[in-house]
Amino acid sequence: MILDEILKKTKKRVAGLPPSFPETPLRDRLSLATAIRNRNGRNAIIAEIKCASPSSGVIRRNIDMAMMAGELREGGCVALSVLTEPYFFGGTGQDIERVKSMVQLPVLRKDFIIDKKQVAESVSLGADAVLLIAAVLKNDLSEFVDEVINYGLEPLVEVRTREEAELALASRTTLIGVNNRNLVTLGIDRSTTRLISEQIRQEGRLIVSESGMRSADDIREMKQYCDAFLIGSSIMTHNHPRKKLEEFVCA
């Protein structure tokens, strides 16, 4: 299973991390939740910059991270997601620094977090928010949510099932992402967001629908079920990423 392979590689990466990270200059973290709430009548899109994925292979080569971040900011995204997993997604932690050098937008670190050292690393890289995957962390999820919050960052907890949603709702997270991609088969089913959204909304949390949005019609169909969308491949494979993003923002 691809997730197992990714986690094996992640364990090796974590083993190579230092026991601590240098103190970074104090700065105000930008709130992803606030950016979603302040979308000013437009669709709240978290635009994801990624080079590759297990389902698509190479998506876009030789990305100038700072330049792409500027393009997507002009396209109207409320935040940026930066993949830092190197083996399957072609990312690196330094990509966050490159993006932050260009834009004043919240930046989500998207990776496979399995160790608390990665949370400290996220701070040193300049991330504002961190993705935590319920299917990976399971019963340790609440502890990791607390760790992220204690570091002054925001957790975005990713779920795929009602059971995982219950784990997320039992934690302190404000943001819950519903991944429409099956992590085993890599297939897409947007009804995942529809089926879980009410359960989350009743608890007053913000819902981010992740994966599977290909057109403005998809956004119009799904926006009643969520507060924001995380979109990567559809933007990054387009010849004009900014133009494609604008379609989603204005749908």
- Look at residue 32 in the predicted model and tell me its pLDDT: 98
Cα–chain center distance at 181 = 13
Tens digit of each residue's pLDDT (9 = 90 or more) over 37-78? 998 889 999 999 988 887 777 778 889 999 999 999 999 999
- Which residue has 């928010």 as its token pair? 129
- Return all residues near 82 (Cβ < 8 A) that are at least 6 apart: 48, 49, 65, 91, 95, 96, 99, 107, 108, 109, 110, 127
Which pLDDT belongs to residue 200?
97
Task: Count the neighbouring beta carbons within 10 Å of the beta carbon of residue 190.
Answer: 19
DSSP label at residue 26: P
Distance of CA 4 to the CA centre of its chain: 20
With beta carbons less than 8 A apart as the criterion, state whether 203 and 174 touch: no
Quote the DSSP letter at residue 82. E
> Model-level pTM?
0.95
What is the helix (H) or strand (E) element at residue 145, kind and residue range?
helix 141-150
Q: What is the predicted pLDDT for the residue at 209?
A: 97
| pLDDT by 10-residue block (mean), the chain, 251 residues | 91 92 73 95 95 79 92 97 94 94 96 97 95 97 97 96 97 97 79 94 96 94 97 93 97 94
**Please, what sign has the CA dihedral across residues 168, 174, 178, 183?**
negative
Superfamily of domain 29-250: Aldolase class I (3.20.20.70)
Q: Is 220 exposed, middle or buried (0-12, 13-18, 19+ CB in 10 A)?
A: exposed
Question: What amino acid is encoded at 76 in this protein?
Answer: G
Tokens for 238?
A: 């387009």
Residue 48 is predicted with a pLDDT of: 96
Q: What is the pLDDT of residue 187?
A: 78
